[in-house]
Amino acid sequence: MAPLTKITFLVIAISFFLTIPSNAFDYTLKVALSTPITPKTPIIPKPKLPAPKVVAVSQNVPAFVKASLVSTMAKTQDFIKNVIDKRLASSAPIDHYKKDCFKTCKEVYEDAIDSMKKATQDVKELNYYKANMDIGASYTYLDTCRDCIVDTKDNEPAFEQFDRWAKAIASDCLSKVSKEYYKN
């Protein structure tokens, strides 16, 4: 009786899955049925337009990475100056954990800037392996500050917003550099 129950269940399951509509293929007709396609119906070829000149991806990657990382370095410097340094210099009382965290963030953000400078130079030299390592290092430095801020258990929207933005840029650059590296 048990094998019959299993088979019945299997048949029901398969029939259920076969009734689920699929969007994998569009079954709608592209031509009305009343329009016969015969040799009498002229087929008008599409005009051949000149293909736009495509610049090789490898030429775009250094420009993209340089532009992205240069702006990220500038914004990181601004963040250190306008947020971290101001919080450290503030007369408002800060517990020693938070103060140490701000100092750590300043230090690792400066290290991230150094890694971004190296990555920019690496990409300029088409050394995508080193660029991959340097961009990964800058991402790790950003993560170190985020971990520190999370450990203080205080809501720091400025840090969270900057962290999301900087990591998104680093991730985009890392993706492009990795694709270039594995392409070669």
Is 64 a member of any domain? yes
Task: For residue range 133-176, list pLDDT tens digits in order.
Answer: 999 999 999 999 999 998 888 888 899 999 999 999 999 999 99
Q: How many domains does the chain have?
A: 1
Q: Is the pLDDT of residue 13 over 90?
A: no
CATH number at residue 170: 1.20.140.40
Is 9 a member of any domain? no
- Directed axis angle between helix 96-124 and helix 157-183, to 10°? 30
Is 31 a member of any domain? no
Rounded distance, CA 112 to CA 118, Å?
10
User: Higher confidence at residue 13 or residue 85?
Assistant: 85
Rounded distance, CA 114 to CA 119, Å?
9
Is 52 a member of any domain? no
Is 28 a member of any domain? no
Rounded distance, CA 180 to CA 59, Å?
10
Task: For residue range 108-135, list pLDDT tens digits in order.
Answer: 999 999 999 999 999 999 999 999 999 9
- Directed axis angle between helix 128-152 and helix 57-79, to 10°? 30
Rounded distance, CA 164 to CA 170, Å?
10
Is 5 a member of any domain? no
Is 80 a member of any domain? yes
Q: Which domain holds residue 102?
A: 57-183
Task: For residue range 42-96, list pLDDT tens digits in order.
Answer: 555 555 544 444 334 445 888 889 999 999 999 999 999 999 999 999 888 888 8
Q: Is the pLDDT of residue 105 over 90?
A: yes
Confidence band, pLDDT 50/70/90 cuts, at residue 24? very low
Confidence band, pLDDT 50/70/90 cuts, at residue 20? low
Is 6 a member of any domain? no
Q: What is the model's pLDDT at position 181?
A: 82
User: Higher confidence at residue 12 or residue 96?
Assistant: 96
